[in-house]
Amino acid sequence: MSESYTLRSKEDNMEKEEHVPGGTKMAKEEKQETSIRMLSLCAKEAENLDIILACDGAASVGQVGHQVAVELTNAYKIARMCCITAVGAESKVHVDIALRARKLIVINGCTNRCASKVLERLNIPYAYEIVIAREGVEKVSTLDFDMADVERIAKKIAREALGVS
CA–CA gap between residue 59 and residue 147 (Å, rounded): 15
- Candidate CATH numbers 3.10.450, 2.30.29, 1.10.287, 3.40.50; the one for domain 42-160: 3.40.50
pLDDT the model gives residue 139? 96
pLDDT the model gives residue 4? 45
Asked if 53 contacts 120 with a C-beta cutoff of 8 angstroms, the reply is: no
pLDDT the model gives residue 22? 58
CA–CA gap between residue 55 and residue 85 (Å, rounded): 9
pLDDT the model gives residue 39? 77
pLDDT the model gives residue 6? 45
pLDDT exceeding 70 applies to what percent of the chain?
Answer: 81
What is the pTM for the complete model shown? Answer: 0.79
SS3 per residue for the chain = CCCEEEECCCCCEEEEEEEECCEEEEEEEECCCEEEECCCCHHHHHHHCEEEEECCCCCHHHHHHHHHHHHHHHHCCCEEEECHHHHHCCCHHHHHHHHHCCEEEEEECCCCCHHHHHHHHCCCCCCEEEEHHHCCCCCCCCCCCCHHHHHHHHHHHHHHCCCCC
CA–CA gap between residue 92 and residue 114 (Å, rounded): 19
Task: Break the chain into its structural domains and give their ranges.
Answer: 4-37, 42-160
Asked if 64 contacts 153 with a C-beta cutoff of 8 angstroms, the reply is: yes
Averaged over successive runs of 10 residues, the pLDDT of the chain (165 residues) comes to 46 49 55 73 87 96 98 95 96 96 97 98 98 97 95 98 93
